[in-house]
């Protein structure tokens, strides 16, 4: 199965599923294939898991992570799934340049939600129209304001929600 999931960053979020045609990257047993700017967010993800009692060693996943232009309109991040290859995360360069640290974290964690936690999308919202999960696809109508106050809620949801 070869699919690709995208997270866009403007008012509407889109998800697409497309074939992946890349060749295998050299395998690694650490985070050396993660862009230096992404690494702190990967480590924050590990820490968020561990502080919740969830065993998490991202080096076991042999992930790669890069920041480059994604030539699809309004797409901020992609998790490339390929059953024969380690998963790859790509974050859009323009998005990265123009985003706050919190928004960067939300997008990286969303993609790790796909690539590491094998989560799909969750569109549920509360009565104020706020998304109940950062795993929202964006095709719905809810909005996500991810900030220092609600970060704990969203990360609890990310690691413990059962689909
Ligand atoms: Zn997604």
Greatest mean pLDDT among 8-22, 25-39, 64-78 lies in 64-78
CB 79 within 8 A of CB 111: yes
| Whether the predicted pLDDT of 10 surpasses 80 | no
| Distance from Cα 12 to the centre of ligand 1, integer Å | 12
| Distance from Cα 10 to the centre of ligand 1, integer Å | 14
Is pTM beyond 0.85? Reply is: no
Q: What is the mean pLDDT of residues 122-140?
A: 93
pLDDT in the model for residue 20: 54
CB 57 within 8 A of CB 110: no
Q: How confident is the model at residue 1 (pLDDT cuts 50, 70, 90)?
A: very low
- The answer to whether domain 2-19+28-160 has CATH 3.40.390 is yes
């Amino acid at each position: 199965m070869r699919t690709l999931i995208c997270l866009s960053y403007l008012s509407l979020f889109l998800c697409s599923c497309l074939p992946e045609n890349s060749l295998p990257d050299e395998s690694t047993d650490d985070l050396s294939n993660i862009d230096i700017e992404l690494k702190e967010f990967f480590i924050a993800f590990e820490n968020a898991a561990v502080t919740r009692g969830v065993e998490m060693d991202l080096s076991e996943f042999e992930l790669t992570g890069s920041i480059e232009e994604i030539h699809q309109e309004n797409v901020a991040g992609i998790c490339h799934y390929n059953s024969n290859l380690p998963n790859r995360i790509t974050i859009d360069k323009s998005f990265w340049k123009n985003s706050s640290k919190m928004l960067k974290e939300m997008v990286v964690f969303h993609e790790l939600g796909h690539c590491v936690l094998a989560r799909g999308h969750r569109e549920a919202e509360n009565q104020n129209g706020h998304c109940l999960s950062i795993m929202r696809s964006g095709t719905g109508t809810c909005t996500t304001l991810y900030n220092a106050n609600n970060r704990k809620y969203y990360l609890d949801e990310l690691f413990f929600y059962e689909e």
